[in-house]
Structure 1
Amino acid sequence: MSENTQYADRRMVIIGAGSRTGRLLAQRAAAAGAHLVLAGPDRRKLERTAGELPGRVESAVVDLADERTIADLAKTAGRFDHLVSTAGMPANGPLQDLQLEAVQRAFAAKVIGPLLLAKHLAGQVSEGGSFTFFSGVAAWRPSPERTVMATTNGALAFLVQALAVEIAPVRVNAVSPGIVDTGAWDAMGADKDAFLRRVAESNPARRVGSPDDLVKAVFYAMDNPYVTGSVLHVDGGGRLA
């Protein structure tokens, strides 16, 4: 997104602002003049992001598994133009090892939380405003030990369609990342580079994604007034490979 005055005096809520993608989104939005409300479960990460930004920034601790905190966010947010949630809480592993609490939190991040965000905040969205949530390529390319991830991301893709009808004319969309080098793969250590190279060699775009790719898609979803109920696939064609 080119920096301009389009977001001057616009108010934007970013859930997951402590993540690498959320921080970059906040930086781009602040540079374009937006007034930001940063939200997420970790106050220290929110404060770090806020400290990097110019202009007026507010923050709110939000747990998408706790409706009370979502209701409190609505009070902090007030009237706003766009809400973006990058939230995700993977519950990966063999079926026999899955823990109910982890599965419930995965659904809270991707399905129940977005539903409750719409419940509590849809009435506060300004004309032309939107919600944008993050789905993921696993919904279209399920694999062993990723059953919960595939299901929650797929459910979110259908949820944005239903919400786009339910709360119209507020627009509701999703961004669906593929394999993106957000730092999530750093735990692989020395195996990370080889893994990302294999991904790049196998998808049609012949590269892995970057947080910048995701942020560009978010701004497209917010800026285009004729896009709603859509999933923007930012996966290098990985779901097709």
Structure 2
Amino acid sequence: MSDNTPLEGQRLVVVGAGAHTGRAIARAASAAGAALVLAGPDPRRLEWTAAELSGSSQVLGLDLTDEQSIADFAGTLGRFDHLVSTAAIPANGPLRELRLDDIQRAFSAKVIGPLLLAKHLAGQVSQHGTFTFFSGVAAWRPAPQRTVMATTNGALAFLVQALAVELAPVRVNAVSPGIVDTGAWDGLGADKEAFLRGVAERNPAGRVGTPQDLVKAVLYAIDNPYVTGTVLHVDGGARLAA
């Protein structure tokens, strides 16, 4: 990141800061001079992120599947400038095997949770602040056993449009990643390299994404005052590939 960033002296909330993408955003934002609020359901993971930051940070518990947790979070948080949520609870698998409670949790993390964050925090964000949520390429490239993922990511894309109108002049956008090597694919073990190579070969950009690609997209959404109600596709063109 350059020294000229929109985050110097700003208070930034990162929901999902205990996981791969949220942690990368928190590290970059802290280095850029932001005061961080790290939010998520696992305080231990949030503390691990806090230990990696160069600037000030605050850890607050937050469960997006529970409106009371969101209301309590709002009551503790106070004023802030920007919020980024990378939260997701996947419910993948064959359609005939999907469980209602898993589907509902997926929607809570990706759609209902962001809606309730806006509901409870709209009065606390600065006038020229932003909300940035994470969608995903599955909405534009649905695949077998990813029906819930495609639907929740697509719903979020429409939610940011509606929120951008209702919360104006506060701006609301979404970042939609494709396959990004954040560490989330490490569980593939020895198969990871071949998987990522195959993705790169299919992508028009000729590579997979990096965490820095996502950081740049988030910074753009925060910094550009003429961008709202928009989905920023950071997928190497994967949604266009044959």
TM-score of the two chains, using structure 1 as the length reference: 0.97
Map 1:208-227 to 2 at 5 A. Answer: 208-227=208-227
AA partner of residue 73 (structure 1): F
Give CA deviations for 1:176-200 in whole Å, capped at 9, x if unaligned.
Answer: 0001112222222222111111110
| Unaligned runs of at least 5 residues, structure 2 | none
Hey, what's the Cα distance between the residues in 2 that align with 1:169 and 1:34? 22
Q: Against the structure 1 CA distance between its residues 182 and 55, is the aligned structure 2 distance closer, same or farther, given a 3 Å change threshold?
A: closer
AA partner of residue 137 (structure 2): V
Other-structure match for 1:56:
56
Instruction: Please state how far the C-alpha of 1:163 moved relative to its aligned partner.
Output: 0.4
Say if 1:13 and 1:77, in contact at 8 Å, map to a contact too. no
Hey, what's the Cα distance between the residues in 1 that align with 2:186 and 2:55? 32
- Aligned residue for 2:232, secondary structure, equals strand
- Aligned residue for 1:123, secondary structure, equals coil
| Unaligned runs of at least 5 residues, structure 1 | none
Hey, what's the Cα distance between the residues in 2 that align with 1:42 and 1:130? 25
Which stretch shifts more, 5-14 or 75-84? 5-14
Other-structure match for 2:158:
158
Map 1:2-151 to 2 at 5 A. Answer: 2-4=2-4, 6-151=6-151
Which stretch shifts more, 52-61 or 174-183? 52-61
Instruction: Please state how far the C-alpha of 1:5 moved relative to its aligned partner.
Output: 6.3
CA-based RMSD of the aligned residues comes to: 1.1
Instruction: Please state how far the C-alpha of 1:218 moved relative to its aligned partner.
Output: 0.3
Say if 2:88 and 2:110, in contact at 8 Å, map to a contact too. yes
Instruction: Please state how far the C-alpha of 1:171 moved relative to its aligned partner.
Output: 0.3
Instruction: Please state how far the C-alpha of 1:76 moved relative to its aligned partner.
Output: 2.5
Instruction: Please state how far the C-alpha of 1:7 moved relative to its aligned partner.
Output: 2.4
Hey, what's the Cα distance between the residues in 2 that align with 1:6 and 1:162? 25
Say if 1:3 and 1:28, in contact at 8 Å, map to a contact too. no
AA partner of residue 128 (structure 2): G
Say if 2:198 is the partner of 1:198.
yes
Aligned length: 241
Instruction: Please state how far the C-alpha of 1:114 moved relative to its aligned partner.
Output: 0.3
Shift >3 Å, 4+ stretches: none
